[in-house]
Amino acid sequence: MEIFEQLDIWRLLAGLGIFLFGMYMLEESIRQLAGRAFKSLIRRYTGTRLRGIVAGAVSTSILQSSSAVSLMVLAFTGAGLMSLVNALAVMIGAMVGTTMTTWIVAVFGFKIKIEAFALPMIAAGGLSLVLLARSPRYVNLCKLLVAFGFLFHGLDFMKTSVEGLAAAIDIAALPDLGLWVYLLAGLLLTVIMQSSSATNAITLTMLFTGVVYFPAAGAMIIGANVGTTVTVLIASVGGIPVKKQAACGQLIYTTTTALVAYTVLPVLAWLVLDLLRFADNPVLGLALFHTLYNILGVLLFYPLIPRVTDFVRRWIPEPELRHLTRYITKTSPEVPEAAIEALRKETVNQARCSMDFIRMIYGIDPQGRTRGRSTYDDLERLHAEIFTFYAKIQAQQMEEEEARGLEPYIRASRSIMNAAKNLYEQNQDLDELRREDQAFMQDAWRLFLVRLQNIGELVDRIGEEPDVDHAALLQQSFTAVEEADKNFIRACAAEVANKRLREYEVTRLLMSNRLFTQSCRMLVLSLQSLNLAAVAPQEKSAGEAAAEE
């Protein structure tokens, strides 16, 4: 207990808090300054495994956060913008990039008098933050300056807090706890603080002050590398399978390389301290160890990335794709007459599936059912399958009249998809009207839902009877869409005239109404086009019969 009295616990915790706050400010300011640039870098320069590793290392070196890069990669993977193989490559590269923080702390944090530059950085950045508050770019630059100041100032607090403890401890007299205890300590510290950089800074401080010896510090570095994966695992919980696959792939990489590095830790320590002669400067040696350990992991894991990808796909399989198609999967495109009719009915089915989905997300499923509980991805896949079937029909030998008859179907399918996309993206904006204090805003939201429900009932009616002539009903519905648009505009004008609606509010409502009306109009016109195609053959048959008489 007398030994631990030499430890200034509050100074240590304060230093840790200042360091973590500095890391947080550093990540945020850099992300604000160049967020789009790094997103573009990751998306554009990850076409191969090697380029993915380089992009991950460079991005993390600048962003100073492997977790930020890995979370960005999860988002891109979930959106289908990056393959699982390349995602794992970027995450592996991010582990190499995170060693930059260790080098910065090792080079500047222990060889230079920290107060000589940390306090001036905080002062200059803080004062400039007030004077240049109107410029977002300069604000983030000032925050960057303050962040570096806090980073090193917190490190100085941690270093001085353990100096007394280091003087009172005889490392040789300590019991041999085993390196695995230090590895576990590094892992737990990183999980608790959600920052491997903070754990590495603490480890460097303990090594510099003589609290731990080099192999123990190396074990803590290895543990910190494994611990940083926890953030990515948490982010993948509840996500789509490909996100979970990417997170598990990273976990496999970190644990595998950690086991290898832990096994050869004495060899790596000898290489750094004796062969490369860093025994007189163990702090820089630990930074080098951190880099060598991660590079070793990349070299070992690089050829295994495809196999690991296959393994996690088998371990966390993606659900079988549920086909929403009802007609085209049962019809061969080699028989144009049947295929064209199947395409028309499938496009009507697309309208039904789209309206089911839209009513579900808007919360207006009146009968408490939604066919198949489709997702927006399902709608996109259905549209793609319809277009693929259309292309296969076109490849067949057809009469010119039959070929012309295909065009209304594919235009209708495209318009239905466009309308569904607009209504899907508009859902959040319209739902915000419900939360407004103004009664007119709330009434507008309810009116939008009523108009949407009317379109849904129209689609249901035609979907149930795809071969019946609904021309009169469709014309009536189109007139209703146009009349609802005019009535809404008149109501907004009346509110403005009575000064119950402000200019920016009416602009918001009119733009929402314009997009909503456009979507409803596209749906009705698409159904009209499909209806004409349905009744045309019947009219032709009736004409031919009359001619024969």
pLDDT band at 166 (very low <50, low <70, confident <90, very high): very low
Q: What are phi and psi of 162, to 5 degrees?
A: -105, 0
| Rounded Cα distance, 456 and 364, in Å | 10
pLDDT band at 293 (very low <50, low <70, confident <90, very high): confident
DSSP secondary structure letter of residue 516: H
Query: What torsion do the CA atoms of 127, 131, 137, 143 make, to the nearest 10 degrees?
Result: 20
Domain boundary among 283, 315, 347: 315
Q: Are residue 403 and residue 488 in the same domain, yes or no? A: yes
Q: Which residue has the tokens 């086909």?
A: 323
- Examine the domain organization and report whether 433 and 457 are in the same domain: yes
- 294 and 414 part of one domain: no
The verdict on 292 and 171 lying in the same domain is yes
Which amino acid would we find at residue 134? R
Distance of CA 502 to the CA centre of its chain: 36
Determine contact, residues 372/356, Cβ cutoff 8 Å.
Answer: yes
Structurally, the chain folds into a number of domains equal to 2
222 falls within a domain: yes
Q: How many CA atoms lie within 13 A of 179 on its CB side?
A: 20
pLDDT of 360: 86
What are the contacts of 171-177 at 24+ separation with CB within 8 A?
Answer: 171/210, 171/211, 171/212, 171/213
Same domain (yes/no): 6, 155: yes
Cβ atoms of 210 and 170 within 8 Å: the answer is no
pLDDT band at 481 (very low <50, low <70, confident <90, very high): very high
Res 373 pLDDT > 80: no
pLDDT tens digits, 60-94: 776 666 766 776 676 566 545 567 888 888 888 88
Q: Does 59 map to a domain?
A: yes
Instruction: Answer whether residue 68 is part of any domain.
Output: yes
pLDDT of residue 225: 86
Interhelix angle 196-209/136-161, rounded to 10 degrees, is: 40
pLDDT of 251 strictly over 70: yes
Percent of the chain with pLDDT over 70: 76
Higher pLDDT, 307 or 367: 307
The residue among 408, 417, 407 whose CA lies nearest residue 383 is 417
Whether 140 and 251 share a structural domain: yes
Q: Tell which wins on pLDDT, 377 or 545.
A: 377
Phi, psi of 541, rounded to the nearest 5 degrees: -65, -40
Query: What CA–CA distances, in Å, run from 57 to 54, 145, 434, 549?
Result: 5, 23, 46, 82
Measured in whole angstroms, how far is the alpha carbon of residue 196 from the centre of its chain?
Answer: 22
**The pLDDT of residue 508 is above 80:** yes
pLDDT of residue 167: 47
CB 4 within 8 A of CB 145: no
Long-range contacts of 140-144 (CB under 8 A, 24+ apart): 140/29, 140/32, 140/33, 141/29, 141/33, 143/25, 143/28, 143/29, 144/25, 144/26, 144/29, 144/30, 144/33
Tokens of 332: 């061969």
Q: Are residues 17 and 99 both part of a single domain?
A: yes
Buried b (16+ CB within 10 A) or exposed e, 20-43: bebbebbbbbbbebbeeebbebbb
Query: 110-124, 254-268, 372-386, 404-418 — which is least confidently predicted?
Result: 110-124
Specify the CATH number for the domain of residue 338.
Answer: 1.20.58
Give the span between the Cα atoms of 203 and 208, in whole angstroms.
9
What SS3 class is residue 397?
coil
In a domain, 324, yes or no: no
Give the pLDDT confidence score for residue 523 in this predicted structure: 93
Q: Are 146 and 129 in contact (CB under 8 A)?
A: yes
User: pLDDT band at 478, cuts 50/70/90?
Assistant: very high
The stretch 185-212 carries a mean pLDDT of 79
Number of Cβ within 10 Å of residue 375's Cβ equals 13
Q: Is residue 322 part of a domain?
A: no
Query: Is 508 a domain residue?
Result: yes
The last residue of a domain, from among 293, 315, 337: 315
pLDDT higher than 80, residue 253: yes
Given pLDDT bands bounded at 50, 70 and 90, which one contains residue 38?
low
Q: Tell the residue number behind the tokens 């009169």, with chain if given.
A: 472
User: What is the structure's pLDDT at 418?
Assistant: 94
Tell me how far the alpha carbon of residue 115 is from its chain's centroid: 40
Residue 51 near residue 90, CB atoms below 8 Å: no
57: confidence class by pLDDT, cuts 50, 70, 90: confident
Instruction: Specify whether 267 is located in the same domain as 353.
Output: no
Which position has the higher pLDDT, 511 or 545?
Answer: 511
Q: Is residue 307 part of a domain?
A: yes
Residue ranges making up the domain that contains 229: 2-315
Q: How far out from the chain centre does Cα 387 lie?
A: 28
Could you tell me the sign of the dihedral formed by the alpha carbons of 419, 422, 427, 429, in that order?
negative
The structure tokens listed for 451 are 């108009």
Q: Is the dihedral of CA 506, 507, 511, 512 positive or negative?
A: negative
Mark whether 301 and 362 lie in a shared domain: no
**Pick from 91, 97, 115, 87: which is nearest to 58 by CA?**
97
Asked if 219 and 276 sit in the same domain, the reply is: yes
The confidence score (pLDDT) of residue 412 equals 93
**Based on the domain organization, do 388 and 259 belong to the same domain?**
no
Q: Is the pLDDT of residue 175 over 60?
A: no
Mean pLDDT, residues 250-273 taken together? 90
* Whole-number pLDDT of residue 154: 75
How far is the first Cα of the chain from the last one, in angstroms, to the nearest whole number?
114
pLDDT for the residue numbered 317: 80
Q: What is the mean pLDDT of the chain?
A: 78
Q: Which of 261, 289, 315 is the last residue of a domain?
A: 315
Shared-domain flag, residues 270 and 360 = no
Q: Which of 71, 46, 81 is nearest to 247 (CA)?
A: 71
Q: Which residue has the tokens 């030499």?
A: 6
Among left, alpha and beta (phi > 0; psi -120 to 50; other), residue 400 is alpha
Per-residue confidence (pLDDT) for residue 542, from 0 to 100: 36
Task: Quote the pLDDT of residue 397.
Answer: 73
